[in-house]
Amino acid sequence: MKPTDAEIGAYIAGYPVSWLAALDRAPWALTEEAADLIGARLASLDPEYRVADGVAVHRRAVVEAGATVKAPAIIGPECRVAAGSYLRGGCWLEAGCTVGPGSELKSAFLFAGAAVAHFNFVGDSLLGAGVNLEAGAVIANHRNEAPETRIVLTLAGRRIETGARKFGALVGDGVRVGANAVIAPGAALPRGTVVPRLGLVDQSV
């Protein structure tokens, strides 16, 4: 069953008024279809974006030499994508986001001010406004130990069988994830959660 906009909005306040909500898809469907959805959105961006080869970069964003940004992608105003970072599978950065050196995003949606700052992996996930991942933190998107397992998400007190084999996390506004922590597939972190350094969050166990 698809979560309501209000349920997702309890985690990410900007979600119900965003273009994502208008698509009427579950979070795991958004990430699964990220490339198609972001590719389709390129045509409706305002002239402040420079679009080349399926990658849109706002004129007030910085993509450093040595960053790899695979189409499709949308990088919003005041974002910074550092040298050595890698964006693939359809990525959307709203405004003021940071993707630091050695960080990889795969099919990820970042709301304003989210920072994936140093040597992180974020797969198939939605990150709320002001989220911060310290160095080495990982949001995993696939259960390597049980590759046929479908992701289960516990959201607003109810377990949801997503049917997806790949989904990372729904990360609420202002969440802080400590260095070298791991968020296992299918996590939903309420606003303001603090995950300690070296911590493990596995809500499906």
- pLDDT mean across residues, the chain: 96
Please list the active-site residues: 118
Residue 1 has pLDDT above 80, yes or no: no
User: How confident is the model over 17-42, as pLDDT tens digits?
Assistant: 999 999 999 999 999 999 999 999 99
* Higher pLDDT pick, 145 / 199: 199
pLDDT category of residue 9 using cuts at 50, 70 and 90: very high
pLDDT category of residue 111 using cuts at 50, 70 and 90: very high
Give me the pLDDT at residue 82, please: 98
- Three-class SS of 15-53: CCCCHHHHCCCCHHHHHHCHHHHHHHHHHHCCCCEEEEC
Report how many domains make up the chain. Answer: 1
Taking alpha carbons only, the member of 170, 120, 168, 163 closest to residue 140 is: 168
Give the 3-state secondary structure of residue 158: strand
Q: Which two tokens stand for residue 51?
A: 């679009």
Range of the domain at 106: 5-201
pLDDT category of residue 63 using cuts at 50, 70 and 90: very high
Residue 157 has pLDDT above 90, yes or no: no
What pTM was computed for the model? 0.97
Give me the pLDDT at residue 76, please: 98
Taking alpha carbons only, the member of 24, 201, 30 closest to residue 109 is: 30
Q: What angle do CA 53, 67, 186 make, to 5 degrees?
A: 90
The domain spanning residue 58 has which CATH number?
2.160.10.10
Q: What angle do CA 197, 101, 140 make, to 5 degrees?
A: 50
Give me the pLDDT at residue 205, please: 63
Give me the pLDDT at residue 156, please: 79
